[in-house]
Amino acid sequence: MQTRQIGSLNVSIVGLGCNNFGRRLDAEATARVVNAALDAGINFFDTADIYGTGQSEDYLGRALGSRRSNVIIATKFGVEMDGEGGGAHPDYIRTAVEASLRRLKTDYIDLYQLHTPDATVPIADTLGALNELVQSGKVREIGCSNFTAEMLRDAEAGTPANRARFVSVQNYYSMLHREPEADVLPECERLNLAFLPYFPLERGLLTGKYRRGQPKPENTRLSNTDLVTDEVLTIVERLVEFAEGHGHTILDLAVSWLLARPVTASVIAGATNPQQIQANANAASWQLTAAELAEVDALLQK
């Protein structure tokens, strides 16, 4: 498994999104997925305090056990937690990090991310509190999520010299949702920020599970939604045909297409079983050429 940098952190180019832990997976099933990820060379685990209302962090910490020092743990704070609060105020940050450390059963977090912007708190105040966590050794690097390019610029401007700065941004990005290309990705290049795409597989649309003319799979994220339209499935069929014509799957294409962007540090895809872990890990092996990328763009723009 190749690695890329997020600040000082060396992460596998395929990571594991842990939002299924505590929601669709119990502690035992979580451990099986975590073990499979480690066996596949994945060292980057991305969770959040809100996932499973705290259980994702708890189950991840249990599953890692004594192997904690071998991995990079990213977690997030800021979304309202029942009975605990939310937001980006320094007082809440100090409370939230202690709760995450306790659930993760560790004394440090590798990448601590503001889950969503908080317009009620000056970004300089938030960054000041996060800097304190870095200085104390409780956090190694800090990042943000769901930030616009303007917010990234404001955060950079609000970071004095010799203070911890955001080293990453995690936003929604996939072959079917390309909004970050307009300004966030260029801003990441300018500010030397690592980019982490979430929903890289479009909740399963880009795994091959959803095909035109076939019934939708049951018990999936999109089973009871209207997002799987004929128009979307037509695009998916084009992508499947392209990938298979090159000896790959649409999953391989979805992951490798994102990794073809130099600012993408890791594709953090979720998984509910070891088989999905192995498929995700293998998907990063396709190094798309400029000609292939141009062909994919043409298919997506039809």
- Residue 51 a catalytic site member: yes
Alpha carbons within 13 angstroms on the beta-carbon side of residue 154 total: 15
Q: How many CB atoms lie within 10 A of CB 210?
A: 22
Is 170:144 a contact under the CB 8 Å cutoff? Answer: yes
Give 5's strand partners.
Answer: 10
Token output for 36: 């499979």
Neighbours of 39 (CB within 10 A): 12
Q: Which residues are known catalytic residues?
A: 51
